[in-house]
């Protein structure tokens, strides 16, 4: 165990003396928060129309009953005298909508000869699109049967804010965590193993009397700490920026997550990091350089992200699926976020990850003992 701690200390020293590595781990979380927050603020302003806004409009030939309703909803421009001018102004953006009723509309309204209403608008203008929807709604009230839908001012969507937020979180957390943790592992694993092989320092370490299994274990533990730090940093950035990005769809304060949920989530995250970093370390040991290690890890990283995506849609998985490494972890994360977690499922997910990690550590130790693998040119 002393030798394992020595390897861990060596890796920590190397990591914290390299400012670029620290920035690689910690900077993404801050950048994600800033970018997502700015995007959310920008998106919330796109298409936002004030509640008391009345679009500018040209109305021609409307019957008195319809005209009264339109004039209450629109700012009718009385200076425009013909339809051609109105359409030109809508096209150049100086007018938001032109509503033109066909000749003899009032005489034909309700008769066999169905009259027509033409609504000209400009979708490149948010206000014009809003005006079109407003006019369509007003006219729809005159063409449909005499009943209304959801006009009582009550809350007709019976989903609570808590349940809506839990559903969103249960879908995005597995995908985000798998992607962020895989990215963090990708940032540290190739440099620590393939990088040392490329620089020749790995050969020096392997000729010491330290057991190769202890070297493998020490590297995986230390690399897991760095990857976990990076993954959590990015995850915090995402979580804090989500309310701004999603607007009213997410209210984290509405969910009563407790210590138990966070404890289980953290346990799963640690086990996932151990699996990913072990797998990446094995592939890095096969490579002769950092560049080659990145090429080998790339396809596996895509598989891991896909497993996170699959977890988004497996809402009612059987307990047996939790025993599949990584996939079970995604399912467990989803269940924790939706507060429908099965303790047995979480236990199976963690245990399966730890078993796979142990096998990968043994494999990495075997590879460290292979002169052909570790010293190939």
* pLDDT on residue 356: 94
* pLDDT on residue 42: 52
238-264 pLDDT, tens digit each: 666 666 655 555 555 555 677 888 888
| Domain contains 47 | no
Which DSSP string corresponds to 325-369?
TTHHHHHHHHHHHTT---HHHHHHHHHHHHHHHHHHHHHHHHHHH
Q: Are 34 and 60 in the same domain?
A: no
pLDDT beyond 80 at 302: yes
Which DSSP string corresponds to 23-63?
HHHHHHHHHHHHHHHHHHHHHHHTT---TT---EEEEES--
Highest mean pLDDT among 10-14, 23-27, 289-293: 289-293
Q: Are 6 and 62 in the same domain?
A: no
Note the Cα 342 to chain centre separation in Å: 24
- CB neighbours of residue 262 within 10 Å: 11
Question: 136 and 74 in contact (C-beta within 8 Å)?
Answer: no
pLDDT beyond 90 at 190: no
Q: Which is more confident, 152 or 65?
A: 65
* pLDDT on residue 280: 92
Q: Are 358 and 288 in the same domain?
A: yes
Rounded to an integer, the average pLDDT of 141-153 is 58
Tokens of 182: 């895989």
- CB neighbours of residue 163 within 10 Å: 14
Q: Are 264 and 117 in the same domain?
A: no
Distance from C-alpha of 123 to C-alpha of 115, rounded to nearest angstrom: 25
Number of domains making up the chain: 2
Q: Which is more confident, 213 or 68?
A: 68
SS3 188: helix
- Using alpha carbons, select from 46, 65, 45, 71 the residue that is nearest to residue 134: 71
Least confidently predicted of 180-184, 249-253, 285-289 = 249-253
Beta-sheet strand order (sheet of 117-120): 75-76, 56-60, 97-101, 117-120
pLDDT beyond 70 at 10: yes
Distance from C-alpha of 285 to C-alpha of 364, rounded to nearest angstrom: 8
Query: 19-45 and 161-192 are packed helices; what angle lies between their axes, rounded to 10 degrees?
Result: 150
| Domain contains 228 | yes
* pLDDT on residue 250: 53
Distance from C-alpha of 43 to C-alpha of 127, rounded to nearest angstrom: 16
- Local confidence band at 25 (pLDDT 50, 70, 90 cut-offs): low
Highest mean pLDDT among 45-49, 152-156, 287-291: 287-291
73-96 pLDDT, tens digit each: 899 888 888 889 999 999 888 999
Rounded to an integer, the average pLDDT of 150-154 is 57
Highest mean pLDDT among 112-121, 248-257, 280-289: 280-289
| Domain contains 155 | no
Tokens of 149: 């839908």
Q: Are 34 and 70 in the same domain?
A: no
What is the overall mean pLDDT for the chain? 78
* pLDDT on residue 347: 93
Tokens of 109: 């309204």
Domain around 280: 2-38+161-374
Q: Are 188 and 127 in the same domain?
A: no
Q: Which of 108, 143, 178 is the last residue of a domain?
A: 143
Q: Which of 76, 109, 143 is the last residue of a domain?
A: 143
Q: Are 174 and 277 in the same domain?
A: yes
pTM, two decimal places: 0.65
* pLDDT on residue 26: 63
* pLDDT on residue 30: 65
Q: What share of the chain is helix, strand, coil (3-state, %, to 5)?
A: 70, 5, 25
- Local confidence band at 145 (pLDDT 50, 70, 90 cut-offs): low
- Local confidence band at 349 (pLDDT 50, 70, 90 cut-offs): very high
- CB neighbours of residue 269 within 10 Å: 19
* pLDDT on residue 270: 87
Q: Which of 143, 178, 212 is the last residue of a domain?
A: 143
Residue whose pair of structure tokens reads 């399912």 in the numeric block = 331
* pLDDT on residue 258: 76
| Domain contains 151 | no
pLDDT beyond 90 at 353: yes
* pLDDT on residue 217: 82
* pLDDT on residue 275: 92
Cα R_g (the chain), whole angstroms: 31
- Local confidence band at 20 (pLDDT 50, 70, 90 cut-offs): low
Tokens of 328: 């079970």
* pLDDT on residue 359: 92
| Domain contains 276 | yes
Half-sphere exposure of 322 (CA within 13 A, CB side): 23
Going through the chain in order, the beta strands assigned E by DSSP cover: 56-60, 75-76, 97-101, 117-120
Q: Are 205 and 328 in the same domain?
A: yes
Question: 308 and 175 in contact (C-beta within 8 Å)?
Answer: yes
Q: Which CATH number does the domain housing residue 126 bear?
A: 3.40.190
Distance from C-alpha of 333 to C-alpha of 90, rounded to nearest angstrom: 51
Distance from C-alpha of 5 to C-alpha of 121, rounded to nearest angstrom: 71
* pLDDT on residue 147: 52
| Domain contains 20 | yes
Which DSSP string corresponds to 364-376?
HHHHHH-HHHHT-
| Domain contains 107 | yes
Q: Are 108 and 180 in the same domain?
A: no
pLDDT beyond 70 at 308: yes
């Amino acid at each position: 165990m002393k030798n394992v701690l020595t390897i861990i200390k060596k890796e920590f020293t190397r990591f914290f003396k390299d400012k670029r590595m620290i920035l690689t781990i910690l900077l993404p979380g801050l950048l994600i928060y800033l970018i997502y927050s700015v995007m959310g603020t920008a998106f919330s302003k796109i298409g936002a129309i004030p509640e008391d806004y009345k679009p500018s409009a040209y109305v021609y030939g409307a019957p008195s009953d319809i005209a009264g309703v339109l004039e209450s909803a629109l700012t009718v421009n009385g200076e425009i005298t013909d339809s051609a001018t109105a359409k030109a102004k809508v096209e150049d953006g100086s007018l938001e909508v032109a509503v033109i009723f066909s000749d003899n509309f009032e005489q034909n309204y309700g008769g066999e000869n169905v009259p027509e209403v033409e609504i000209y608008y400009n979708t490149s203008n948010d206000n014009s699109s809003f005006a079109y929807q407003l006019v369509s709604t007003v006219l729809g009230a005159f063409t449909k049967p005499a009943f209304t839908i959801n006009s009582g001012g009550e809350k007709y969507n019976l989903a609570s804010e808590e349940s809506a937020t839990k559903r969103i979180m249960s879908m995005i957390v597995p995908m985000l965590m798998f992607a962020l943790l895989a990215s963090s592992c990708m940032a540290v694993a190739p440099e620590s193993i393939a990088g040392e092989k490329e620089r020749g320092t790995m050969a020096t370490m392997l000729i010491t009397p330290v057991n190769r299994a202890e070297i493998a274990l020490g590297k995986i533990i230390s690399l897991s700490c760095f990857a976990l730090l990076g993954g959590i940093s990015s995850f915090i950035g995402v979580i804090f920026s989500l309310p701004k990005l999603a607007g009213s769809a997410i209210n984290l304060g509405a969910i009563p997550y407790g210590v138990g949920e966070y404890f289980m989530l953290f346990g799963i995250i640690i086990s996932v990091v151990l699996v990913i970093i072990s797998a990446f370390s094995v592939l890095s040991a096969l490579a002769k350089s950092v560049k080659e290690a990145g090429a080998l890890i790339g396809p596996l990283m895509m598989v891991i992200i896909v497993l996170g995506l699959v977890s988004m849609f497996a809402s009612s998985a059987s307990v047996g699926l939790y025993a599949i490494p990584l996939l079970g972890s995604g399912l467990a994360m989803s269940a924790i976020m939706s507060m429908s977690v099965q303790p047995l499922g979480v236990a199976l997910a963690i245990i399966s990850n730890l078993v796979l990690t142990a096998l990968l550590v043994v494999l990495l130790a075997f590879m460290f003992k292979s002169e052909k693998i570790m010293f190939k040119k």
